[in-house]
Copies of this chain bind each other. A is one copy, B any other.
Amino acid sequence: MFDQGIRFELAHLASVELLTADLEGSLWFFKELLGMRETDRKGDSVYLRCYEDPYHHSLKLTAADEPGLGGVTWRTTSRDALERRAAALDSEGVGLGWTKGDLGVGPTFAFESPDGHRMELVWEIEKYRAPEDLKSKILTRRSKRPLQGLPPRRLDHVNLMASDVTAQKDVFEKALGFGTRERVLDYTTNTEIGAWMSVNILGHELAIMRDSTGNKGRLHHIAFWYGVPQHNSDAAELCREYGVEIEAGPDVHGITQGAFLYVFEPGGNRVELFGNSGILELEPDFETVTWDFADFDTGLAIGGAKLPAETYFIYGTPPHGPRRGAIASADRSSTASNLADSTP
């Protein structure tokens, strides 16, 4: 069981930085198809948020040669918790030290996961305040639901590939108080193949899956939350119509009970759209569930979906090979055309 002093130190996933090999294409995907709103720009980076995201941004898109994860920012439950976790990360030997933060983000403590993913912890963060015309009549909603695209409500989780799942998982458990809700174990080699972890009652805010290619520090996917199963079907239809590559879904994982749709955004990264709340783990003394790698079909999908072996278990970003997700500009050129006066 967790130590009382560790398990309530982190609050939640605050934001993710994504590197994109096609900034223009990624912006089309996140703004026009997913209806996210741009809140800032700086250098090669554009800052975006979903309409219920609480802070200045939940997604930072940065132009780069290759797609991948720029970083992940976790918010602590207090200023003191930040100090304590910084010390713990230093003890684990993965601390990188304090930073001045970013647009909308105060001082952070940076660290690197054992597999090489850059992360930061933060307490001081800029809460998003909607301008008058974007204020929602629903008071817990930080801004109006957009009329553009099919907008997810907030950033949900991040899924990392790791060359050693156990080593990666251990640091998150020991230094940051993550609880491991579910894992997949290869009993023949006693090797962990995947782990799904959380700092609150969500089924997971962090997942780690084995990178069988031997690469390190790669991103499997980031996920945005609809919370409504139908929206995953709608998203699949829009992706199909507008040329966005669908990898798998809509279906529901047995693991996390999450309703998934996986697509590749034009910049090359895998993005999951999350159509329900997944299992919520309310028990304080929950027991980690272990799936048998030799028999976890239900874990992968409750319905008939197949997760394609040639991508789902191989492809991460940076890809170190052909990049997925590129789409013809013709496919995405028509999005605003019904606002224009036109006689087709």
**Which residues of A229-243 are within 8 A (CB) of B?**
229-231, 233, 236-238, 240-242
Contact digits for A184-196, partner B, Cβ 8 Å, 1 yes 0 no: 0000000000000
Q: Indicate if the CB atoms of A139 and B338 lie closer than 8 Å.
A: no
A39 / chain B contacts, CB cutoff of 8 Å:
342-344
In the complex, which of the residues B129, B139, B181, B305 contacts A182, with contact meaning CB atoms closer than 8 Å?
B139
User: Is A248 positioned at the interface, with any CB of B under 8 Å from its CB?
Assistant: yes
Question: Could you tell me the distance in whole angstroms from the C-beta of A104 to the nearest C-beta in chain B?
Answer: 10
Give the distance in Å from the alpha carbon of A128 to the alpha carbon of B283 in the complex. Answer: 12
A249 / chain B contacts, CB cutoff of 8 Å:
303-304
Q: Indicate if the CB atoms of B241 and A145 lie closer than 8 Å.
A: yes
Q: Indicate if the CB atoms of B240 and A303 lie closer than 8 Å.
A: yes
A35 / chain B contacts, CB cutoff of 8 Å:
338
Please judge, given known A-B contacts A282-B54, A339-B336, whether A305 and B305 are in contact too, CB under 8 Å.
yes
Please judge, given known A-B contacts A146-B338, A251-B250, A338-B146, whether A203 and B344 are in contact too, CB under 8 Å.
no
Give the distance in Å from the alpha carbon of A205 to the alpha carbon of B308 in the complex. Answer: 33
Contact digits for A302-327, partner B, Cβ 8 Å, 1 yes 0 no: 11111010000000000000000000
Q: Indicate if the CB atoms of A148 and B147 lie closer than 8 Å.
A: yes
Q: Indicate if the CB atoms of B33 and A147 lie closer than 8 Å.
A: yes
Residue of B nearest to A146 (CB): B338
User: Is A99 positioned at the interface, with any CB of B under 8 Å from its CB?
Assistant: no
In the complex, which of the residues B144, B251, B280 contacts A334, with contact meaning CB atoms closer than 8 Å?
B144
User: Is A294 positioned at the interface, with any CB of B under 8 Å from its CB?
Assistant: no
Please judge, given known A-B contacts A38-B342, A201-B202, whether A238 and B303 are in contact too, CB under 8 Å.
no
Q: Indicate if the CB atoms of A343 and B304 lie closer than 8 Å.
A: no
Question: Could you tell me the distance in whole angstroms from the C-beta of A311 to the nearest C-beta in chain B?
Answer: 11
Q: Indicate if the CB atoms of B254 and A148 lie closer than 8 Å.
A: no
Q: Indicate if the CB atoms of A283 and B11 lie closer than 8 Å.
A: yes
Give the distance in Å from the alpha carbon of A150 to the alpha carbon of B150 in the complex. Answer: 8
A220 / chain B contacts, CB cutoff of 8 Å:
none
Q: Indicate if the CB atoms of A137 and B241 lie closer than 8 Å.
A: yes
Of the A-B pairs whose beta carbons lie under 8 Å apart in the complex, a sample of 15, sorted by A's number, is A8-B8, A11-B282, A38-B340, A39-B343, A77-B284, A133-B330, A133-B334, A139-B254, A140-B281, A140-B289, A141-B279, A227-B276, A233-B303, A236-B304, A250-B304
Q: A4-B77, A233-B252, A277-B277 are in contact. List 7 more A-B contacts (CB 8 A).
A: A32-B339, A38-B341, A39-B342, A41-B341, A137-B240, A139-B289, A236-B251
Residues of chain A touching chain B, judged by Cβ–Cβ distance below 8 Å, are 4, 7-8, 11-12, 31-33, 35-41, 52, 54, 75-78, 80-81, 127-134, 136-141, 144-150, 181-182, 200-203, 227-231, 233, 236-238, 240-242, 246-252, 254, 256-257, 259, 261-262, 276-277, 279-284, 289-291, 298-299, 302-306, 308, 330, 333-344
